[in-house]
């Protein structure tokens, strides 16, 4: 019996050599070929990219050989490429979709299969539901070796970076950043985004120095290549030591961004999302904001202040992306550090996000900490923390029962004003909010909290963890 292939909030992911095997990647690819035929889009071909993880190139070649074996043209990236760069290439080349072999921010033992729509965004729930059925009923994979596929005109080796860079040049005032005299550190976290930000900003008085830019699929010195505080201790140390203006960090496939201010303080993902919204709104752009349910209420306050609509969606760009497109939104994003922008692809882009933060600093003449102070002056001070709690899989049902039980009336001595179930459960209190949900990509229970003070955040997280028994 073969194990079922299931797509979570962003693709199918698994442990390399356990369930993420060449045989399963081939099964998944055959199902995708069948899906493209059913949808009538197989003639538009497929873009295939991959990250810097162990055997990613070989897994990508497996995808290409199966897709080509089904008579569908493949554009295969020559080198590791960030997910937003591959997604952009899908749109640029008019392809039916894209596959990226990556598990993004997961630990080193993981890999993944992300399927991108023809619009360059994460596949919707309806798309992945159909794709899963196609994979389940797929015949044994048809394959064509890469060299034979090239000879048959079914496989083209491509470099997606130039078209992406040209697009970014039209979205960001790179000249203003280059001329601002900033000193920027970029932590590439050994991922596929290495070289992109320094390459785009060279030639001016701004200097960019990269850390952890070399390929290392073991991702040493971090729990996982996710740009959050506990993985960025060296960046936080180096920024003030080097007199840097700011530190930026990209996750393993560069669809997420982390920010460290000039004092070495990690700026939370909720603050970063709100800073990006504030910058776009302050410069006169208007349009709806689309946020994941665990993103900041500062966004709601900004939407009210500037008279724009806001939508709250379940976690994952498979949920956020379609609403972002339907609303022609100005900005979409989620708590995990991934943000999408109107005029670009309906997908997270850590590189573009980082460049826009630098543009804000350059245009407004603000330090990184100054941007946060300006935000708090407008919407009040907010503090945030997320806890990722591992648990015994046999206890999942019991945790779900406690999570879905009778609504709480109080937590840590604070009155619960309301509760929603947009994704997991979220409780609104006078001092802030707390949410809990199971991760869609890892065996973790995530507990989130945003409140007026750090003490309130800690107390509320402790109380929720005790309530859920984890």
Q: Of 51, 52, 33, which is closest to residue 43 (Cα–Cα)?
A: 33
| pLDDT number for residue 399 | 86
| pLDDT number for residue 221 | 92
| pLDDT number for residue 347 | 94
What is the C-alpha separation between 384 and 425, in angstroms, rounded?
17
In a shared domain, residues 398 and 328: no
Q: What global pTM score does this model have?
A: 0.93
For the chain, the domain total comes to: 3
| pLDDT number for residue 66 | 98
In a shared domain, residues 241 and 194: yes
**Would the pLDDT of 439 be above 90?**
no
Q: Within a 10 A sphere around the Cβ of 184, how many other Cβ atoms? A: 24
Answer yes or no: is 1 within a domain.
no
Range from 55-59, 210-214, 420-424 carrying the lowest mean pLDDT: 420-424
Q: Mean pLDDT, to the nearest integer, of 380-393?
A: 90
Report the mean per-residue pLDDT for the chain: 95
| pLDDT number for residue 303 | 98
- pLDDT digit string, tens, across residues 112-135: 999 999 999 999 889 999 999 999
- pLDDT digit string, tens, across residues 199-212: 999 999 999 999 99
In a shared domain, residues 458 and 338: no
Answer yes or no: is 248 within a domain.
yes
Q: Mean pLDDT, to the nearest integer, of 236-246?
A: 98
Q: Of 321, 364, 344, 360, which is closest to residue 171 (Cα–Cα)?
A: 344
| pLDDT number for residue 396 | 86
Band (pLDDT 50/70/90 cuts) for residue 43 is confident
In a shared domain, residues 174 and 151: no
In a shared domain, residues 177 and 311: yes
Which residues on adjacent β-strands are paired with residue 122?
Answer: 116
In a shared domain, residues 343 and 461: no
Name the one residue in this structure whose structure tokens are 């997908």. 347
| pLDDT number for residue 4 | 86
The backbone torsions φ and ψ at residue 4, rounded to the nearest 5 degrees and listed phi first, read -70, 145
Answer yes or no: is 368 within a domain.
yes
**Where a domain ends, among 129, 161, 193?**
161
Q: Mean pLDDT, to the nearest integer, of 439-445?
A: 80
What is the C-alpha separation between 44 and 35, in angstroms, rounded?
13
In a shared domain, residues 290 and 420: no
Q: Mean pLDDT, to the nearest integer, of 106-113?
A: 96
Range from 7-16, 60-69, 233-242, 359-368 carrying the lowest mean pLDDT: 7-16
| pLDDT number for residue 403 | 84
| pLDDT number for residue 143 | 97
Answer yes or no: is 7 within a domain.
no
| pLDDT number for residue 279 | 98
Instruction: Give the Cα-Cα-Cα angle 216, 150, 68 (nearest 5 degrees).
Output: 85
CATH number reported for the structural domain that contains residue 297 in this entry: 3.40.120.10
In a shared domain, residues 373 and 387: no
Band (pLDDT 50/70/90 cuts) for residue 293 is very high
| pLDDT number for residue 320 | 93
Q: By percentage, how much of the chain surpasses pLDDT 70?
A: 99
In a shared domain, residues 209 and 324: yes
In a shared domain, residues 338 and 424: no
Answer yes or no: is 4 within a domain.
no
- pLDDT digit string, tens, across residues 124-178: 889 999 999 999 999 999 999 999 999 999 999 999 999 999 999 999 999 999 9
Domain of 197?
A: 170-379
Answer yes or no: is 5 within a domain.
no
| pLDDT number for residue 204 | 96
What is the C-alpha separation between 455 and 127, in angstroms, rounded?
43
Q: Mean pLDDT, to the nearest integer, of 418-424?
A: 92
Answer yes or no: is 82 within a domain.
yes
CATH number reported for the structural domain that contains residue 424 in this entry: 3.30.310.50
**Where a domain ends, among 379, 399, 427?**
379
**Would the pLDDT of 470 be above 90?**
no
**Where a domain ends, among 318, 345, 379?**
379
Q: Of 190, 257, 192, which is closest to residue 220 (Cα–Cα)?
A: 190
Contacts for 148 with CB less than 8 Å, ≥ 6 apart: none
Name the one residue in this structure whose structure tokens are 């055997």. 55
In a shared domain, residues 251 and 301: yes
Band (pLDDT 50/70/90 cuts) for residue 407 is confident
**Would the pLDDT of 10 be above 90?**
no
In a shared domain, residues 397 and 425: yes
Answer yes or no: is 2 within a domain.
no
């Amino acid at each position: 019996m073969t194990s079922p292939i299931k797509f979570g909030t962003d693709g199918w992911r698994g442990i390399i050599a356990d369930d993420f095997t060449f045989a399963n990647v081939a099964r998944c690819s055959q199902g995708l070929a069948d899906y493209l035929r059913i949808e009538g889009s197989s003639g538009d071909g497929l873009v295939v990219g991959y990250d810097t993880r162990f055997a990613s190139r070989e897994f990508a070649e497996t995808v290409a050989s199966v897709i080509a074996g089904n008579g569908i043209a493949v554009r295969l990236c020559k080198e590791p490429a960030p997910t937003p760069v591959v997604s952009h290439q899908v749109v640029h080349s008019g392809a039916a979709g894209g596959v990226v072999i990556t598990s993004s921010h997961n630990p080193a033992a993981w890999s993944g299969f992300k399927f991108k729509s023809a619009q360059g965004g994460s596949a919707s729930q309806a798309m992945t539901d159909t794709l899963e059925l196609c994979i389940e009923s797929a015949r044994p994979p048809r394959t064509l070796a890469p060299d034979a596929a090239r000879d048959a005109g079914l496989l083209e080796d491509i470099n997606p970076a130039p078209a992406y860079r040209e697009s970014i040049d039209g979205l960001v005032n790179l000249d203003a950043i280059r001329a601002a005299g900033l000193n920027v550190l970029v932590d590439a976290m050994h991922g596929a985004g290495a070289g992109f930000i320094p390459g785009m900003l060279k030639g001016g008085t701004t200097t960019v120095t990269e850390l952890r830019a070399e390929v290392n699929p073991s991702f040493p010195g971090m729990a996982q290549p996710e740009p959050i505080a506990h993985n960025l201790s060296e960046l936080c140390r180096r920024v003030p030591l080097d007199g840097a203006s700011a530190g930026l960090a990209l996750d393993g496939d560069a669809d997420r961004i982390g920010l460290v201010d000039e004092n070495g303080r990690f700026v939370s993902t909720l603050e970063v999302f709100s800073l990006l919204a504030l910058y776009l709104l302050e410069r006169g752009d208007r349009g709806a904001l689309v946020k994941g349910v665990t993103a900041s209420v500062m966004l709601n306050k900004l939407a009210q202040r500037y008279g724009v609509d806001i939508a709250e969606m379940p976690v994952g760009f498979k949920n956020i992306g379609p609403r972002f497109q339907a609303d022609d939104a100005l900005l979409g994003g989620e708590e995990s550090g991934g943000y999408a922008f109107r005029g670009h692809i309906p997908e997270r882009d850590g590189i573009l996000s980082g460049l826009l933060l630098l543009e804000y600093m350059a245009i407004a003449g603000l330090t990184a900490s100054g941007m946060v102070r300006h935000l708090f002056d407008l919407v009040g001070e907010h503090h945030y923390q997320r806890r990722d709690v591992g648990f015994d899989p046999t206890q999942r049902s019991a945790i779900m029962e406690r999570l879905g039980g009778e609504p709480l009336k109080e937590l840590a001595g604070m009155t619960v004003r309301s509760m929603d179930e947009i994704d997991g459960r979220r409780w609104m209190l006078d001092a802030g909010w707390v949410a809990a949900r199971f991760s869609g990509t890892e065996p973790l229970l995530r507990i989130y909290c945003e409140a007026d003070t750090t003490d309130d955040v800690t107390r509320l997280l402790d109380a929720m963890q005790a309530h859920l028994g984890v």
